[in-house]
Amino acid sequence: MALQDVCGFLETLDDISPCTYLPNEMGYMWRTPCEFDRDSAFHFLFPSQQCRRKNRAPTLFSSAFSSLSPHQQPFQLSHGTTTLGFIFQDGVIAAADTRASCKGLICCPISQKIMPIHSHLVVNTSGSGADCMLWERILTREMRLYQLRHHKRLSVNGAAKLLSMMLHPFKGTNVCVAATLCGWDEEQETRKTLQACMEIADVKEAMERDSSVSTILDESAQGCVKMASINKQDENLKDAHAMNPTVSHQNTKNVLSTFGSRSGPRVCYVCSDGLQLKGEIISVGSGSPYAYAVLDDGWRWGMTVDEAVALAREAVFRATHWDAYSGNNVDLFHITAHGWRRRDREDLKEEYYRERERKKKKIKEREKERQKKEGGELAEGEGDIYSVCCR
Amino acid sequence: MEYLIGIQGPDFVLVAADNVAASSIIQMKHDYDKMFKLSEKILLLCVGEAGDTVQFAEYIQKNVQLYKMRNGYELSPAAAANFTRKNLADYLRSRTPYHVNLLLAGYDEADGPGLYYMDYLSALAKAPFAAHGYGAFLTLSILDRYYRPDLTREEAVDLLKKCLEELNKRFILNLPSFTVRLIDKDGIHDMEKLPVAPK
């Protein structure tokens, strides 16, 4: 992609396609890649208009348009996968299985469906594997360009909007991408509110606080997080807390107050047919109904990290058990204000056997308790009708 | 699947839309807002195909705001409705038609309240009451029976509740809650969401 741009490589096109975003201004002007505005996010070729709207599967609404359509499906639950993402008080959890299937064949049992975009954003992909790989790269490029131009990271909702707009020209073609963007928004406002709060405090202490906290903010703003740097930041924060316990209290208060507003955990769903949703729990794929059932039951905003991880694991596990197109392993990412952290990939086959053992144990324990109870009742009241009946 | 309803009174318009955002058989969101604020006194309610709704509604929304910025005054509801219809009609015979059904509700200083019904074939009609979706089959006759041009606000909300009760009773899909808004000379007012328990 980059080489193509640098070389100014021209590709010939079959059709003139009007740009659907600027109907009146541009008219029927077709721009070759060279002439395209370099700042535009739509700096790639639009699809040939001939193939558009032909392969659209009929929905309840499109009865008026008689187009060549594939066979009718009762409902479309394509995307053979289970991916999920949810937010809670301590960040975002993104989890997915690792099975890539093609009709009845498992093409790859160890594919990676969760891909990091930058230090604070991760995308769960489902749909066509090739499309997801390409669009993930395009999104990464556009977000990096935004960051370089505007000196701040694009928010998760902004990234979702951008991806949705980029996918819109391909609506009606066979592009099949259903992506869940999971990330943590960090607004510049948080730095300002922190500094404003510090100015209220003692001047001498405020200067000390400024120097320590601003270094932390600089480090976190630089992105590129691995385990080592997370630990380093944790250490820095610990130092800051040790020096000034009142500062940490103010910091947490500020973080909490800005939670619902500009910064905090976000989950956003973008689909190639145009649907774009922000929410608290999103699950996509053929295994998503099973995952939703588990998530709806166990989700609370005030969950701890361990509870959230356990919930996500269980949801994917149940989905892989029932759904033929999901399975093999589970990947789990946890995103906080410090960046994303990846849990080791876990084989769900072991989990299945472990669960069987757990169930067996539980049945045995329950049997023992019941026997104890019956034994106790017999000892206490021999003439009791109920104990006789229970036998 | 989705449901929109609008009732016009002598000096107000009451509109409601369901809150479900669905993807095949799954309700992905229970609190999705299908109303787009075009200006201080105009609301556009939009349902239809997944990406088209937001794309088209935001396009209209931004253009109405652009008109205000360029000319210094806002478009009237009638003008906004006709502008929307013209855009729908232009795209209808292009290669990328928008499959959306709309209700436009607004209050004009000169003309009073107005409710405009638009469908995906870009038909436009100013109507005293209107509904979109499968639920419309069930509720239009209720509106026919009980609607009067001089409804008070409370009576209009009661009529709306009657319609939603009927939906809960006879409509095969579960639409648990509805966003309700009222437009009058003072602007757009949010009213409490209506979940009606099934009888």
Give A61-108 pLDDT, tens digit per residue: 333 333 334 444 444 445 788 999 999 999 999 999 999 888 788 888
Average pLDDT for A221-249: 42
Whole-number pLDDT of residue A67: 39
Confidence bin at A14 (pLDDT 50/70/90): very low
Q: In what order do the strands lie in the sheet with B100-108?
A: B35-39, B42-48, B100-108, B112-118, B124-126
Taking 60 as the threshold, does the pLDDT of residue A206 lie above it? no
- Residues of chain A in contact with residue B176, where contact means CB-CB under 8 angstroms, are none
Closest alpha carbon within chain B to A19:
B96
Taking 50 as the threshold, does the pLDDT of residue B125 lie above it? yes
Q: What is the pTM of this model?
A: 0.71
Whole-number pLDDT of residue A386: 54
Closest to A167 in 3D by CA, of B93, B52, B171: B52
- Residues of chain A in contact with residue B54, where contact means CB-CB under 8 angstroms, are 274, 276
Confidence bin at B99 (pLDDT 50/70/90): very high
Domain that includes residue B55, residue range: 4-195
| Residue indicated by tokens 């790989």 | A133
Q: Does A173 qualify as catalytic in the annotation?
A: no
Whole-number pLDDT of residue A80: 84
Cβ within 8 Å, pair A61-B120: yes
Cβ within 8 Å, pair A164-B29: no
- Residues of chain A in contact with residue B97, where contact means CB-CB under 8 angstroms, are 65
Closest to A54 in 3D by CA, of B96, B122, B121: B96
Cβ within 8 Å, pair A276-B51: yes
Cα–Cα distance for residue pair A220/A194, rounded to 1 Å: 15
- What ipTM score was computed for the predicted complex, to two decimals? 0.83
Cβ within 8 Å, pair B1-A60: yes
Beta bridge partners of B191: B180
In DSSP notation, B47-88 reads EESHHHHHHHHHHHHHHHHHHHHHHSSPPPHHHHHHHHHHHH
| Domain count within chain B | 1
Taking 90 as the threshold, does the pLDDT of residue A251 lie above it? no
**B123 near A CB under 8 A:** no
Looking up residue B10, the CATH number of its domain turns out to be: 3.60.20.10
Average pLDDT, chain A: 72
